[in-house]
Amino acid sequence: MKKTIALLMTAFMLVSCFACTAAAAPAASETDDWSYIQSKGTLVIGYTEYAPMNYTENGTLVGFDTEFAEAVCAKLNLKPEFVEIDWDTKELELAGKKIDCIWNGLTVTEERKSNMDFTVSYLKNQQVVVVRSEDAGKYADAASFAGEVVVAEAGSAGAAAIAANLPDAEFVEVQAQSDALLEVKTGKATAAVIDLTMAKAMTGEGTDYSDLTIASIDMMDEEYAIGFRVGSSATAKVNEAIEALTADKTIATIAEKYDLTDLLIQ
Protein backbone atom coordinates (compact mmCIF):
# COMPACT_ATOMS: atom_id res chain seq x y z
CA MET A 1 0.00 0.00 0.00
CA LYS A 2 2.80 2.37 0.99
CA LYS A 3 4.55 1.59 -2.29
CA THR A 4 1.39 2.41 -4.23
CA ILE A 5 0.98 5.73 -2.42
CA ALA A 6 4.62 6.59 -3.05
CA LEU A 7 4.26 5.88 -6.74
CA LEU A 8 1.12 8.01 -6.93
CA MET A 9 2.85 10.89 -5.16
CA THR A 10 5.84 10.65 -7.52
CA ALA A 11 3.55 10.66 -10.54
CA PHE A 12 1.67 13.68 -9.15
CA MET A 13 4.92 15.57 -8.63
CA LEU A 14 6.09 14.81 -12.17
CA VAL A 15 2.80 15.99 -13.65
CA SER A 16 2.96 19.16 -11.53
CA CYS A 17 6.53 19.88 -12.60
CA PHE A 18 5.63 19.34 -16.25
CA ALA A 19 2.68 21.71 -15.90
CA CYS A 20 4.91 24.35 -14.31
CA THR A 21 7.51 23.98 -17.05
CA ALA A 22 4.84 24.22 -19.75
CA ALA A 23 3.38 27.31 -18.13
CA ALA A 24 6.80 28.94 -17.88
CA ALA A 25 7.79 28.22 -21.49
CA PRO A 26 6.73 30.94 -23.92
CA ALA A 27 4.16 29.87 -26.46
CA ALA A 28 5.28 29.79 -30.09
CA SER A 29 4.04 32.98 -31.72
CA GLU A 30 4.73 35.41 -34.48
CA THR A 31 7.31 37.07 -32.23
CA ASP A 32 9.57 34.11 -33.12
CA ASP A 33 9.46 35.16 -36.77
CA TRP A 34 13.06 36.31 -36.96
CA SER A 35 14.33 32.95 -35.66
CA TYR A 36 12.05 31.18 -38.12
CA ILE A 37 13.36 33.23 -41.05
CA GLN A 38 16.98 32.87 -39.92
CA SER A 39 16.63 29.10 -39.62
CA LYS A 40 15.55 28.93 -43.28
CA GLY A 41 18.22 31.35 -44.42
CA THR A 42 15.73 32.89 -46.87
CA LEU A 43 13.28 35.76 -46.84
CA VAL A 44 10.26 34.85 -48.95
CA ILE A 45 9.05 38.10 -50.53
CA GLY A 46 5.54 38.45 -51.92
CA TYR A 47 5.20 40.73 -54.94
CA THR A 48 3.18 41.49 -58.05
CA GLU A 49 4.70 42.69 -61.30
CA TYR A 50 4.67 46.39 -61.96
CA ALA A 51 7.31 48.89 -62.91
CA PRO A 52 9.25 50.47 -61.38
CA MET A 53 8.92 48.43 -58.17
CA ASN A 54 9.15 44.77 -59.26
CA TYR A 55 9.09 43.78 -62.92
CA THR A 56 10.73 41.40 -65.38
CA GLU A 57 13.27 42.68 -67.87
CA ASN A 58 15.03 40.28 -70.24
CA GLY A 59 13.92 37.38 -68.06
CA THR A 60 15.27 38.89 -64.83
CA LEU A 61 13.25 40.39 -61.98
CA VAL A 62 14.37 43.99 -61.45
CA GLY A 63 12.95 47.20 -59.97
CA PHE A 64 13.38 49.48 -57.00
CA ASP A 65 11.74 47.16 -54.46
CA THR A 66 13.57 44.17 -55.94
CA GLU A 67 17.02 45.75 -55.53
CA PHE A 68 16.05 47.26 -52.18
CA ALA A 69 15.05 43.81 -50.90
CA GLU A 70 18.26 42.27 -52.21
CA ALA A 71 20.33 44.93 -50.40
CA VAL A 72 18.48 44.37 -47.11
CA CYS A 73 18.84 40.60 -47.39
CA ALA A 74 22.58 40.94 -48.04
CA LYS A 75 22.81 43.06 -44.87
CA LEU A 76 20.94 40.41 -42.87
CA ASN A 77 22.79 37.45 -44.40
CA LEU A 78 19.61 36.09 -45.98
CA LYS A 79 18.79 34.89 -49.48
CA PRO A 80 15.82 36.71 -51.07
CA GLU A 81 13.18 34.47 -52.62
CA PHE A 82 10.61 36.36 -54.70
CA VAL A 83 7.14 34.80 -55.02
CA GLU A 84 4.44 36.34 -57.21
CA ILE A 85 1.18 36.57 -55.28
CA ASP A 86 -2.47 37.43 -55.76
CA TRP A 87 -2.70 40.96 -54.35
CA ASP A 88 -6.30 40.44 -53.27
CA THR A 89 -5.29 37.59 -50.91
CA LYS A 90 -1.91 38.92 -49.78
CA GLU A 91 -2.86 39.06 -46.09
CA LEU A 92 -3.87 35.38 -46.12
CA GLU A 93 -0.64 34.35 -47.82
CA LEU A 94 1.35 36.32 -45.26
CA ALA A 95 -0.48 34.93 -42.22
CA GLY A 96 -0.30 31.40 -43.64
CA LYS A 97 3.51 31.69 -44.04
CA LYS A 98 3.43 31.16 -47.79
CA ILE A 99 5.48 34.37 -47.79
CA ASP A 100 7.42 36.15 -45.05
CA CYS A 101 6.68 39.70 -46.11
CA ILE A 102 4.91 41.86 -48.70
CA TRP A 103 7.43 44.10 -50.45
CA ASN A 104 5.79 45.61 -53.49
CA GLY A 105 4.78 49.24 -53.16
CA LEU A 106 2.59 48.34 -50.19
CA THR A 107 0.56 51.29 -48.94
CA VAL A 108 0.34 51.84 -45.19
CA THR A 109 -3.31 52.07 -44.06
CA GLU A 110 -5.02 51.87 -40.67
CA GLU A 111 -7.02 48.86 -41.86
CA ARG A 112 -3.89 46.97 -42.88
CA LYS A 113 -2.24 47.71 -39.52
CA SER A 114 -4.66 45.25 -37.93
CA ASN A 115 -3.46 42.47 -40.27
CA MET A 116 0.27 43.08 -40.45
CA ASP A 117 3.26 44.93 -39.02
CA PHE A 118 4.88 47.68 -41.06
CA THR A 119 8.50 48.70 -41.26
CA VAL A 120 9.45 52.36 -41.44
CA SER A 121 8.01 54.04 -44.53
CA TYR A 122 10.53 54.47 -47.33
CA LEU A 123 8.70 56.02 -50.30
CA LYS A 124 5.98 58.62 -50.81
CA ASN A 125 3.28 57.83 -53.32
CA GLN A 126 -0.12 58.97 -54.52
CA GLN A 127 -3.03 57.39 -56.30
CA VAL A 128 -3.58 58.97 -59.72
CA VAL A 129 -6.25 58.76 -62.41
CA VAL A 130 -4.99 57.67 -65.82
CA VAL A 131 -7.08 58.38 -68.95
CA ARG A 132 -6.51 58.37 -72.70
CA SER A 133 -4.65 61.52 -73.71
CA GLU A 134 -7.34 62.40 -76.24
CA ASP A 135 -9.94 62.41 -73.43
CA ALA A 136 -7.94 64.40 -70.86
CA GLY A 137 -9.97 67.58 -71.41
CA LYS A 138 -13.25 65.79 -70.66
CA TYR A 139 -12.24 64.69 -67.15
CA ALA A 140 -11.26 67.68 -65.06
CA ASP A 141 -12.92 66.77 -61.76
CA ALA A 142 -14.43 63.88 -59.83
CA ALA A 143 -17.96 64.67 -60.99
CA SER A 144 -17.02 64.10 -64.63
CA PHE A 145 -16.49 60.38 -63.89
CA ALA A 146 -20.11 59.81 -62.80
CA GLY A 147 -21.39 56.66 -64.54
CA GLU A 148 -18.03 56.03 -66.22
CA VAL A 149 -16.16 52.71 -65.88
CA VAL A 150 -13.11 53.19 -63.67
CA VAL A 151 -10.83 50.24 -62.94
CA ALA A 152 -8.30 49.39 -60.25
CA GLU A 153 -6.50 46.35 -58.93
CA ALA A 154 -8.60 44.32 -56.50
CA GLY A 155 -7.72 45.02 -52.88
CA SER A 156 -5.45 47.93 -53.81
CA ALA A 157 -5.11 51.49 -52.57
CA GLY A 158 -6.48 52.48 -55.97
CA ALA A 159 -9.72 50.65 -55.24
CA ALA A 160 -10.00 52.48 -51.90
CA ALA A 161 -9.27 55.81 -53.62
CA ILE A 162 -12.10 55.27 -56.11
CA ALA A 163 -14.56 54.59 -53.28
CA ALA A 164 -13.41 57.71 -51.43
CA ASN A 165 -12.93 60.15 -54.30
CA LEU A 166 -14.97 58.89 -57.28
CA PRO A 167 -18.08 57.46 -55.58
CA ASP A 168 -20.33 57.98 -58.62
CA ALA A 169 -18.07 56.07 -61.02
CA GLU A 170 -18.78 52.47 -62.01
CA PHE A 171 -15.93 50.63 -60.30
CA VAL A 172 -14.62 47.42 -61.90
CA GLU A 173 -11.91 45.27 -60.29
CA VAL A 174 -9.02 43.84 -62.30
CA GLN A 175 -6.29 41.39 -61.35
CA ALA A 176 -3.29 43.74 -61.57
CA GLN A 177 -2.43 47.41 -62.05
CA SER A 178 -1.02 46.63 -65.49
CA ASP A 179 -4.41 45.14 -66.42
CA ALA A 180 -6.02 48.43 -65.39
CA LEU A 181 -3.87 50.36 -67.85
CA LEU A 182 -4.68 47.89 -70.62
CA GLU A 183 -8.41 48.30 -69.98
CA VAL A 184 -8.08 52.05 -70.56
CA LYS A 185 -5.83 51.69 -73.60
CA THR A 186 -8.30 49.32 -75.30
CA GLY A 187 -11.29 51.51 -74.47
CA LYS A 188 -12.95 49.03 -72.10
CA ALA A 189 -12.65 51.55 -69.28
CA THR A 190 -12.61 55.34 -69.12
CA ALA A 191 -9.94 55.54 -66.44
CA ALA A 192 -7.64 53.55 -64.19
CA VAL A 193 -6.60 54.49 -60.68
CA ILE A 194 -3.07 53.28 -60.01
CA ASP A 195 0.07 54.24 -58.09
CA LEU A 196 1.90 57.38 -59.17
CA THR A 197 5.13 55.37 -59.20
CA MET A 198 3.72 53.05 -61.83
CA ALA A 199 2.00 55.79 -63.84
CA LYS A 200 5.27 57.73 -64.13
CA ALA A 201 7.14 54.65 -65.33
CA MET A 202 4.58 53.19 -67.73
CA THR A 203 2.79 56.10 -69.41
CA GLY A 204 3.91 58.94 -71.63
CA GLU A 205 6.39 59.29 -74.46
CA GLY A 206 8.52 56.25 -75.23
CA THR A 207 6.36 53.77 -73.29
CA ASP A 208 3.84 51.10 -74.32
CA TYR A 209 1.15 53.44 -73.00
CA SER A 210 2.27 56.64 -74.70
CA ASP A 211 -1.37 57.39 -75.51
CA LEU A 212 -2.33 57.56 -71.83
CA THR A 213 -1.86 60.46 -69.42
CA ILE A 214 -2.38 61.36 -65.77
CA ALA A 215 -5.53 63.42 -65.21
CA SER A 216 -5.50 66.47 -62.93
CA ILE A 217 -7.63 64.88 -60.20
CA ASP A 218 -6.60 65.24 -56.56
CA MET A 219 -6.45 61.80 -54.94
CA MET A 220 -5.05 60.38 -51.71
CA ASP A 221 -1.42 60.69 -50.65
CA GLU A 222 0.23 57.64 -49.11
CA GLU A 223 3.46 55.98 -48.04
CA TYR A 224 5.04 52.64 -48.86
CA ALA A 225 6.42 50.25 -46.24
CA ILE A 226 7.18 46.52 -45.99
CA GLY A 227 4.52 44.32 -44.40
CA PHE A 228 5.39 41.50 -41.98
CA ARG A 229 3.22 39.24 -39.85
CA VAL A 230 1.53 40.81 -36.84
CA GLY A 231 4.02 40.96 -33.94
CA SER A 232 6.93 39.79 -36.10
CA SER A 233 10.39 40.31 -34.61
CA ALA A 234 11.72 40.47 -38.18
CA THR A 235 10.28 43.96 -38.57
CA ALA A 236 12.83 45.49 -36.20
CA LYS A 237 15.70 43.63 -37.87
CA VAL A 238 14.73 44.94 -41.30
CA ASN A 239 14.34 48.46 -39.88
CA GLU A 240 17.94 48.26 -38.62
CA ALA A 241 19.10 47.23 -42.10
CA ILE A 242 17.12 50.05 -43.71
CA GLU A 243 18.72 52.56 -41.34
CA ALA A 244 22.20 51.35 -42.31
CA LEU A 245 21.40 51.37 -46.04
CA THR A 246 20.00 54.89 -45.73
CA ALA A 247 23.14 56.08 -43.98
CA ASP A 248 25.49 54.68 -46.62
CA LYS A 249 23.31 56.03 -49.49
CA THR A 250 22.58 52.58 -50.94
CA ILE A 251 18.82 53.21 -51.04
CA ALA A 252 19.33 56.67 -52.54
CA THR A 253 21.45 55.15 -55.31
CA ILE A 254 18.75 52.59 -56.13
CA ALA A 255 16.07 55.31 -56.09
CA GLU A 256 18.07 57.42 -58.54
CA LYS A 257 18.41 54.45 -60.89
CA TYR A 258 14.61 54.12 -61.07
CA ASP A 259 13.85 57.87 -61.14
CA LEU A 260 12.30 57.84 -57.65
CA THR A 261 14.62 60.26 -55.85
CA ASP A 262 11.90 62.87 -55.40
CA LEU A 263 9.64 60.33 -53.68
CA LEU A 264 12.23 58.84 -51.33
CA ILE A 265 11.66 59.25 -47.57
CA GLN A 266 15.07 59.81 -45.97
Tens of each residue's pLDDT in the chain, 266 residues? 434 444 444 444 444 444 444 333 333 344 589 999 999 999 999 999 989 999 999 999 999 999 999 999 999 999 999 999 999 999 999 999 999 999 999 999 999 999 999 999 999 999 999 999 999 999 989 999 999 999 999 999 999 999 999 999 999 999 999 999 999 999 999 999 999 999 999 998 899 999 999 998 988 789 999 999 999 999 999 999 999 999 999 999 999 999 999 999 98
**Cross-strand bridge partners of residue 203:** 209
Instruction: Decide if 109 is inside a domain.
Output: yes
Instruction: Decide if 9 is inside a domain.
Output: no
Asked if 177 and 242 sit in the same domain, the reply is no
Looking at residue 18, its pLDDT comes to: 40
Q: Three-class SS of residue 112?
A: helix
Where residue 113 sits, what CATH number does that domain have?
Answer: 3.40.190.10
Its pTM stands at 0.79
Asked if 131 and 204 sit in the same domain, the reply is yes
C-alpha pair distances (Å), 109 with each of 22, 84, 155, 222: 38, 22, 12, 8
Asked if 143 and 184 sit in the same domain, the reply is yes
215 Cβ contact partners less than 8 Å away, ≥ 6 residues apart: 128, 129, 130, 131, 136, 139, 140, 191
Asked if 157 and 174 sit in the same domain, the reply is yes
Looking at residue 32, its pLDDT comes to: 87
Instruction: Decide if 19 is inside a domain.
Output: no
Q: Range of 89's domain? A: 30-124+222-263
Looking at residue 266, its pLDDT comes to: 80
Domain count, the chain: 2
Instruction: Decide if 93 is inside a domain.
Output: yes
Looking at residue 3, its pLDDT comes to: 41
Rg (CA), the chain: 24
Asked if 173 and 195 sit in the same domain, the reply is yes
Asked if 202 and 229 sit in the same domain, the reply is no
Q: What is the per-residue burial (b if ≥16 Cβ within 10 Å, else e) of 14-36? A: eeeeeeeeeeeeeeeebebbbeb
Asked if 44 and 93 sit in the same domain, the reply is yes
Looking at residue 219, its pLDDT comes to: 86
Looking at residue 7, its pLDDT comes to: 43
Query: Are the C-beta atoms of 93 and 155 separated by less than 8 Å?
Result: no
